[in-house]
Amino acid sequence: MKKVLIILLVFIVISSFSLIGIGCKKDSTEEAMTVNDIEEETVEPEVKSEETKEETNAEEVIQEPKTIVVWTPGSIESPQYKYFEAINKITQEKYNITLDFQPQTMDTYFELLSTSMISKSGPDIFMQWNGIASVIQFGRDGLFLPHNDLISEELLKNVSGWSGVTDPDDGTIWSVPWDWTPAALTYNKVLFEEAGIDFSDFPKIMSWDEFTGICEKLKNADIVPLAFANKQGYFGEWWLASSFGSYFDSNKDMAEYYANESMNSYQFKDACEKFKGLYDSGYFYPGGLTLDFGTEAQSQFATGKVAMQMYLADWWVSFNEGIGDGNVGITAWPNFSDEGKLGSTINGVYGTTLGITSWSKEPEAAMKVLEVVLSPEGAKLYGDIVKSVPLNKSWKPEFEDPDLVAWLDFLALKSSEGEVGDYGWIYAVPEYQGAVWQQNPLYLSGDMTFEELAEELNTARDIK
Amino acid sequence: MLHIKMCSIIIKNSNKKIGKFMGNRTKEYRQYFLFLSPAMIILLFIYANSIVRIVWYSVIKWKSFTPLQEVSYENFYKVFTYPHFLEILKNNFIIIIVTIPVVVIFALFCAQFLYFRVFGYRIYRYLFFLPVILPNVVAAIIWSFILHEFGVVNTIFQKIGLEVLTVNWFGNPKWAIYGLILTIIWKDVGFAIILFLAKLSMVDPQLYDAAKVDGANEIQTIKFITIPQILSVIVLYIILELIGLLNFIFGYVFVMTRGGPGYSTTPLEFLTYLFAFRLHKFGMANASAVILFVITLILVLIYFNSSRKKEV
């Protein structure tokens, strides 16, 4: 009996080893890309020639029905859900492809992404943010398929934002650009009027003094100026990062700073002090330091408890429903500084992308879906339903909402004046972002000095 | 001579009987084993497979989602030298040192009161056990609201003029861990009470009568009668609670504090999650899990052995 037991145990151990694969292959460690390697102009992405594309003509109907699964953060109540339902109708009609949109909670999105990558299973298309620390790094790590052979020249020509998805090292396109949202502030016009604030010249880029002046007026009128729900640390990170470009003349300069400079420097110190000044002055929603982002961030503004909140396209509809159509305005995020050129244009642009995963069994069908998404028809649907800015160059906003129209006109004007501050080029390493999330609440509450915070971030950046 | 021969015959016959007896028992055990073996094999395979995988991956250089690289003990070194590792271990230690004594002492008193059927004991039984049946996440959400800076507790203190007692539980790195501990105690004490009560119900009531006659007070009764009588259950509970506090409090931390402010409420279990899903350092996450497993094993063995000595 003992022998039987021993044999059984050995069998189990050996089969365990065989399953996990003894004899892992040796791969050379990939060198992390340094910011110094980023070029001003991204490497021209190479795509397949026109001859080979004849077989994958956009009008070709794929006979066999296929299903493509798409994941993005969201919910079934969000406008994105209706948008993907509309896209699904088109893909079914044109290509016999069913688009299965499965919104995921923002809170657990990164965990789902990681689990999918480890298990090499999950959706065919993943939403990921643009830039070096997001989509490009994830592409290098194996989440996405190289898209060069799948993307047509027509798509390259008609859609903007390719620099945020193209690897500056070798020109690999890791995803397709989808959406472009600059950091902006929504404000409650009713509360602004109550506090006697003149917003007739909005939208505009406010200086920090102008912005804090508005906050003080609101506070004096017993109105809470700013939404805040920072348990997870996201809010703090957004405040610090969204306007940080205003210290620099270019995204490259900003990226180099984050990658190479000590955070114990005047730019970061100035930004931190200004951010903490908002907290110490009582401009943030009381108790927001430990409130949950998922349940509070949207509702504080939508229920009229605060006068200003960050703008996200997903929230726009609920804000208007909560406060009343025409009572919600958008203006630019305030600048920490006016010394950099990025401060005079638009800052904190968040670009989102949609990429085909490396384990997708139907990459060509997935590409068909993306072509519909990025087509003029898809772009129109995006603008109409989600009320955000798609990246198809032929898209013209047809919003009825005058505030959205005003904001987009303002965006178009500012982005034509120069380079916009792209959020995707900061956070050269994910350890840094994690440290900011974890530590900024301590700094805000006064339990950590600036020097200690800077040291934490420097140390986090060095963890490889 | 005859006497010796008689003895040897008797011993021989006894041995035959014993041998026959043992042979029958062995046959029975074989049958038990045969019936249990399919389930045992499956369970053993699942557990052994998982444990072996975790240990294997913890010694593989595996950063982010790149293919597995060569064997290395770098992961353990990086975990041990992670900037906040000692703080995190300290958090585990505080949680254990505060939670277990409070739960055990409170449960002992409550179990004894319920055993003596104080007025309303039936209702108290249900009330004590109610938190146990709630999911951890629900308990965490409830207490997040109760202990919030402007939550129920602080509001009551303010209304009755005791502002000095108001605490920003989850915004203050010194107090946040005690907010977590309070929630865990509230959740776990009911199970301890029921467990102790079940064992108490087997204790001879005459012992308590005798103690009463001798003039023993509540504390003396607990110390000299209750504890010795139910010691085995107390030991069992402490071991289970130790394992739970080291390995099953992720839900509380994730919902209430996300390990913050800073790392003041991050236990080693949560650090494993941070390594895997925030930093994508899966080798380090596995190493952290192995370290947690070893710590749990050592603590349980130490406690188990010391309590066995006490019982002897």
Contact call for residues A166 and A173 (beta carbons, < 8 A): yes
Q: What is the DSSP annotation of A261-325? A: S-SSSHHHHHHHHHHHHHHHTT-BPTTGGGS-HHHHHHHHHHTTSEEEEE--HHHHHHHHHHH-T
Nearest alpha carbon to residue A372 among A167, A44, A152: A152
How many angstroms separate the Cα of B240 from the Cα of each of A394, B96, B100, B227, B300? 64, 12, 10, 18, 9
Q: Which of B233, B126, B245, B110 is nearest to B185 (CA)?
A: B245
What number of CA atoms fall less than 13 Å from residue A437's CA on the CB side?
A: 17
Q: Do A111 and B277 touch (CB under 8 A)?
A: yes
Residue in B with minimal Cα distance to A25: B69
CB contact under 8 A, A24 and B70: yes
Distances (CA, A) of A104 to A101, A211, A228, B40, B76: 10, 34, 23, 37, 33
Q: Indicate whether A48 pLDDT > 80.
A: no
Q: What pLDDT, on the 0 to 100 scale, is given for residue A375?
A: 93
Do B283 and B272 touch, CB atoms closer than 8 A? no
Name the band, by pLDDT with cuts 50, 70 and 90, for residue B110: very high
Give residue A129's pLDDT: 86
CA torsion angle B236 B241 B247 B251 (round to 10): 140
Which of A20, A27, A289 faces B56 most closely, judged by CB atoms?
Answer: A20
Model pLDDT, residue A44: 44
The H or E element containing residue B191 is helix B176-200
The answer to whether the Cβ–Cβ distance between B70 and A8 falls below 8 Å is: no
Pairing of strands A97-104, A66-73: parallel
Q: How confident is the model at residue A285 (pLDDT cuts 50, 70, 90)?
A: very high
Q: Would you place residue A109 in the very low, low, confident or very high pLDDT band (cuts 50, 70, 90)?
A: confident
Say yes or no for a CB contact (<8 Å) between A447 and B173.
Answer: yes
A-chain CB neighbours of B42 within 8 Å are: none
Phi, psi of A434, rounded to the nearest 5 degrees: -60, -40
> What does B198-227 look like in DSSP terms, one character per residue?
HHHTTS-HHHHHHHHHTT--HHHHIIIIIH
Cα–Cα distance for residue pair A389/A392, rounded to 1 Å: 9
Do the beta carbons of residue A184 and residue A310 sit within 8 Å? yes
Name every chain B residue with its beta carbon within 8 A of the beta carbon of A448.
262
pTM over cut 0.90: no
Average pLDDT for residues B130-141, to the nearest whole number?
Answer: 94
CB contact under 8 A, B67 and A27: yes
Taking alpha carbons only, the member of A329, A336, A309 closest to residue A210 is A336
Query: Which pLDDT tens digit goes with each residue over B151-174?
Result: 999 999 999 998 888 888 998 999
**CB atoms B274 and A114 under 8 Å:** no
State the DSSP code for B120. T
Q: Write the residue in B67, B170, B278 that is nearest to A25 by C-beta.
A: B67
Q: Which of A154, A125, A164 is nearest to A394 (CA)?
A: A154
- Reply yes or no on whether the pLDDT at B9 is more than 80: no
Residue given tokens 């995020």 in the structure block: A333
**CB within 8 Å of chain B, chain A residues 326-385:** none
Work out the minimum CA distance from B173 to partner chain A, whole angstroms.
8
CA distance B290 to B298: 12
Distance CA(B161)–CA(B173), nearest Å, equals: 25
Does the structure show a pLDDT above 80 at A206?
yes
- When CB atoms are compared, the residue of A118, A232, A459 closest to B83 is A459
> Which residue would you say has higher pLDDT here, B300 or B20?
B300
* B258 contacts A232? CB cut-off 8 A: yes
| Alpha-carbon span A411 to A144, nearest angstrom | 31
Interface check for A400 against chain B (CB to CB < 8 A): the answer is: no
Q: Give the 3-state secondary structure of residue A120.
A: coil
The minimum CA-CA distance between B90 and chain A, rounded to whole Å, is 18
Look at residue A59 in the predicted model and tell me its pLDDT: 47
SS3 content of chain A, % helix, strand, coil (to 5): 50, 15, 35
| pLDDT, average across residues A153-168 | 87
Give chain A's domains with CATH numbers: 60-180+351-396 (3.40.190.10), 184-347+423-462 (3.40.190.10)
Which of A140, A80, A134, A142 is CA-nearest to residue A317? A80
